[in-house]
Amino acid sequence: MKANIAVLPGDGVGPEIMAQALRVLAKIGEKFGHEFVTKEGLIGGIAIDEIGNSFPDATRQLCEQSDAILLAAVGGYKWDNPTAPDRPERGLLAMRKHFELFANLRPVKTYPALAAYVPLRADLLEGVDILFVRELTGGAYFGPRKEMGDGDDAYDTMLYSRAEVERVANVAFRAAQMRRKKLTSVDKANVLASMRLWRSTVVKVHEEYSDVALDHVLVDACAMHLLTRPASFDVVLAENMFGDILSDEASVLAGSLGMLPSASLGATAFGLYEPVHGSAPDIAGKNIANPIGMFLSVALMLRYSLQLEAEAQAIETAIDAVLADGLRTRDIARPGEDSATTTEFTDAVLAKF
């Protein structure tokens, strides 16, 4: 097959991990007989510097003409002024909103080879395989707000409509049907009116998925359960901010935030794929960033947007094999243990195909 991929390296370690991810994608194309046409665009801080806009029109048009988007990272110290008229993160939020990518899928699993590197007892990690489904275009991140400016107060509004909750709940229930048929909906319904609407809507949608077991957990309890009984979760559905925080917390189960991929999906096969970690400006240019989250994001793209399951599994299997061989990037190496560079880790993954 032939597919057009919009490539957005972004800021910080983004260009480094994207370059290696494209090597992996090219290898998959060679091995399975596909043609992946990649075209690069600007987003985030570099786009502000060069174009004056964190999500330029040219990048929007490039993405509109593509079958999927690969993005590495945005942001950095250089653009950290909270009062600036444009910020790198706004480009990412604008892109999600423009393409109506309302469901963010963040898989988290444990790797037996890394069990000793995780700050939890090994018995708690057995069988951990969680899929977070985070609502992506609503809540406090997108609701009405008042910036502080020169005043002494500011606010952000957690706003949801029933339709917004319904559509992401359907994604989560369908995912649960394909997995272990259990869905945990996270809210704060004991305090927030928006979360009472969230819970009642999820209960209503559940009527269409009688084969899936549903339970409701308050967000603070969920944060605790992720570290005390993580294997009890299958699919976790959460609103935008809660899903952001909880899935980052769960990265400790995998060994590092650098291990986690994500897929942002809408009503069609088109999607945005990016690692969960940030731009890590402190290690940018050092060739030591962990590329696993980026590689697994490529795998999610192959699976969800291009329907290439065998190809996605080939990447995942290669990563598992390299970790089993004992190769580690710096973030998942023990103190004093030798670590691989970004390029060296990629070379090892490519050798497994």
246 has a pLDDT exceeding 90? yes
pLDDT tier at 256 (50, 70, 90 boundaries)?
A: confident
SS (H, E, C) 277-306: CCCCHHHCCCCCCCCHHHHHHHHHHHHHCC
Q: What is the mean pLDDT of residues 325-332?
A: 93
pLDDT tens for residues 266-309?
999 999 999 999 999 999 999 999 999 999 999 999 999 999 99
pLDDT score, position 112: 85
Which of 141, 160, 273, 304 is catalytic? The answer is 141
Classify 153 in phi/psi space as left (phi over 0), alpha (psi -120 to 50) or beta: beta
Which of 187, 234, 244, 331 is catalytic? The answer is 244
CA–CA separation, 188 and 230 (whole Å) = 20
pLDDT score, position 234: 98
**pLDDT averaged over every residue in the chain:** 95
The contacts of residue 39 (CB under 8 Å, 6+ apart) are: 4, 5, 6, 7, 62, 66
Please indicate whether residue 338 is annotated as part of the active site: no
pLDDT score, position 273: 98
pLDDT score, position 115: 84
pLDDT score, position 33: 97
The reported pTM is 0.90
Which of 188, 320, 347, 352 is catalytic? The answer is 188
Would you give the DSSP letter of residue 276? S
Q: Beta strands 129-135 and 103-109: pairing type?
A: antiparallel
Please indicate whether residue 188 is annotated as part of the active site: yes
Higher-scoring residue by pLDDT: 101, 148: 101
Which element (helix H / strand E) includes 113?
none
Task: Tell me where in the chain the CATH 3.40.718.10 domain(s) lie.
Answer: 1-100+260-353, 119-145+158-254
pLDDT score, position 17: 98
Please indicate whether residue 86 is annotated as part of the active site: no
151 has a pLDDT exceeding 90? no
Closest CA to 141 of 164, 158, 128: 158
Structural contact between residues 279 and 11, judged by C-beta atoms closer than 8 angstroms: yes
Phi then psi for residue 147, to 5 deg, are: -75, 155
The CATH architecture that domain 119-145+158-254 belongs to is: 3-Layer(aba) Sandwich (3.40)
pLDDT score, position 213: 98
pLDDT score, position 65: 98
Report the topology of domain 1-100+260-353.
Answer: Isopropylmalate Dehydrogenase (3.40.718)
pLDDT score, position 147: 80
Closest CA to 187 of 224, 239, 244, 250: 239
pLDDT score, position 197: 98
Q: What is the mean pLDDT of residues 184-203?
A: 98
Q: Which two tokens stand for residue 312?
A: 């996605």
pLDDT tens for residues 30-82?
999 999 999 999 999 999 999 999 999 999 999 999 999 999 999 999 998 87
pLDDT score, position 257: 85
Cα-based angle 346, 350, 353 (whole degrees, multiple of 5): 150
CA–CA separation, 266 and 305 (whole Å) = 11
CA–CA separation, 38 and 8 (whole Å) = 10
Which of 86, 156, 248, 347 is catalytic? The answer is 248
pLDDT tier at 335 (50, 70, 90 boundaries)?
A: confident
Please indicate whether residue 248 is annotated as part of the active site: yes
Please indicate whether residue 141 is annotated as part of the active site: yes
Closest CA to 234 of 257, 217, 220: 217
Which of 215, 220, 325, 338 is catalytic? The answer is 220
